């Protein structure tokens, strides 16, 4: 509850286009030079710089910089430096749904043996994030609207009233992906490029924002000639170590605890939820971690 945590809201659901627009507006009012629609084909390092090869409007370009920030979800570096991958055998199915009861701004998460499914209040209805095995998710994509709505009603009951309509479905494989524990000189990894998390706890984006924030602090604390140095890049990685590892362990633990129908785990699950429900201090601790991370 937001009041219990002393914050305005526990969280916000927003479309990327809105976020992107706000960032673009901020950049337009700064002296940062931006190139949109470029495709990076290579990121390599020399002794004193990062070298970025990219294509833009049909032309190839090379850029050198003392520090490159990889925020590409991990694609460019992972061929040469493969990440550690934990495949949960799950896919996420996303869709917008409308329900008979108007949203009151409350999110719902329901745990099934196949994986969690969440309804996040958004615009005139909810964003559905549903996890299932890869095969089951592919099967769901073939369902017509009526079959999908009946399935949702079966799982969520009458909490949000009848499910009235469902929009276009999209599907993503869900994995934990960790960039290797290497300090790349002249390069810092943020967001999905550093760690791609399962969405069960809604932590991936928050973690990426904290990566960017900490990187900015480390840059501000560095003498200009040290920006991009091995020491600066190592200091950034060190500053993210605790929060990153805690976020990965927390999310990974939740996936394993809540996507499993072993009877013992069922009891552990109920015990964990009861503790959160009855002990305000435990609830506050977990909520604070989820909002501000382990360094917060």
Ligand X SMILES: Cc1cc2nc3c(=O)[nH]c(=O)nc-3n(C[C@H](O)[C@H](O)[C@H](O)COP(=O)(O)OP(=O)(O)OC[C@H]3O[C@@H](n4cnc5c(N)ncnc54)[C@H](O)[C@@H]3O)c2cc1C
Say how far apart CA 273 and CA 79 lie, in whole Å.
Answer: 41
Q: Closest residue (Cβ) to ligand X?
A: 191
Rounded least distance, CB 155 to ligand X, Å: 17
Least distance from C-beta 282 to ligand X, angstroms?
Answer: 22
C-alpha distance from residue 118 to each of 56, 143, 202, 272 (Å): 39, 19, 10, 19
Of 204 and 266, which has the nearer Cβ to ligand X? 204
Nearer Cβ to ligand X, position 23 or 273? 23
129 vs 218 by CB, closer to ligand X: 129
Question: Which residue has tokens 């020399």?
Answer: 46
Is residue 208 at the binding interface for ligand X, with CB under 6 A as the rule?
A: yes
* Range in contact with ligand X (rule: CB under 6 A) among 65-73, 135-143, 263-271, 286-294: 65-73
Site string for ligand X, 114-153 (x = CB under 6 A): ---------------x------------------------
Residue 272: CB atoms within 10 A of its CB come to 16
Dihedral of the alpha carbons of 223, 224, 225, 227, in degrees to the nearest 10? 90
CA distance 232 to 219: 8
Sign of torsion over alpha carbons 219, 234, 53, 49? positive
Element (H, E) at 128: strand 125-133
Work out whether 71 is an interface residue with ligand X (CB under 6 A).
yes
**Dihedral Cα 225, 227, 228, 231, nearest 10 deg:** 90
Q: Which of 221, 289, 278 is nearest to 254 (CA)?
A: 289
The smaller minimum CB distance to ligand X, of residues 185 and 206, is found at: 206
Among the listed residues 202, 227, 260, 294, the single contact to ligand X using CB under 6 A: 202
Applying CB under 6 A, among 103, 185, 187, 206 the residue interacting with ligand X is 206
Round to whole Å and give the CA distance between 220 and 207: 20
Rounded to whole angstroms, the Cα distance separating 172 from 129 reads: 10
Rg (CA), the chain: 21
Q: How far is the CB of 12 from ligand X (least distance, A)?
A: 10
| DSSP one-letter code for 83 | P
- Applying CB under 6 A, does 227 fall inside the site for ligand X? no
Which of 186/210 has CB closer to ligand X?
210
Contact map string, positions 24 to 53, toward ligand X, x by CB under 6 A: ---------------xx-------------
Q: How far is the CB of 162 from ligand X (least distance, A)?
A: 25
Residues that bind ligand X (CB under 6 A): 39-40, 71-73, 75-76, 92, 94, 129, 172, 191-192, 199, 202-206, 208
């Amino acid at each position: 509850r937001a009041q219990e945590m002393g914050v305005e809201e526990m969280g916000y659901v927003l479309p990327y286009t809105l976020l992107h627009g706000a960032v673009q507006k901020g950049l337009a009012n700064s002296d940062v030079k931006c190139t949109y629609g470029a495709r990076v084909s290579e990121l390599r390092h020399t002794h004193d710089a990062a070298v970025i090869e990219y294509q833009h409007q049909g032309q190839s370009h090379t850029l050198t910089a003392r520090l490159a920030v990889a925020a590409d979800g991990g694609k460019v570096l992972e061929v040469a430096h493969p990440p550690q991958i934990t495949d949960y055998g799950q896919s996420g199915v996303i869709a917008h749904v409308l329900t008979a009861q108007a949203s009151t701004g409350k999110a719902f998460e329901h745990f099934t043996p196949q994986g969690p499914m969440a309804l996040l209040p958004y615009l005139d209805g909810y964003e559905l994030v549903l996890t299932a095995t890869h095969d089951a998710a592919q099967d769901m994509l073939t369902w017509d609207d009526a079959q999908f709505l009946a399935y949702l009603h079966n799982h969520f009951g009458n909490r949000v009233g009848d499910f009235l309509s469902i929009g276009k479905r999209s599907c993503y494989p869900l994995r934990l992906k960790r960039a290797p524990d290497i300090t790349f000189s002249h390069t810092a990894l943020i967001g999905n490029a550093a760690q791609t998390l399962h969405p069960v706890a809604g932590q991936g984006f928050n973690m990426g924002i904290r990566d960017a924030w900490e990187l900015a602090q480390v840059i501000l604390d560095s003498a200009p000639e040290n920006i991009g140095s091995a020491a600066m890049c190592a200091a950034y990685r060190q500053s993210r170590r605790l929060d990153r590892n805690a976020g990965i362990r927390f999310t990974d633990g939740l996936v394993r605890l809540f996507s499993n129908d072993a009877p013992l785990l069922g009891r552990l699950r109920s015990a964990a939820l009861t503790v959160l429900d009855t002990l305000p201090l435990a609830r506050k601790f977990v909520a604070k971690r989820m909002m501000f991370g382990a360094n917060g």
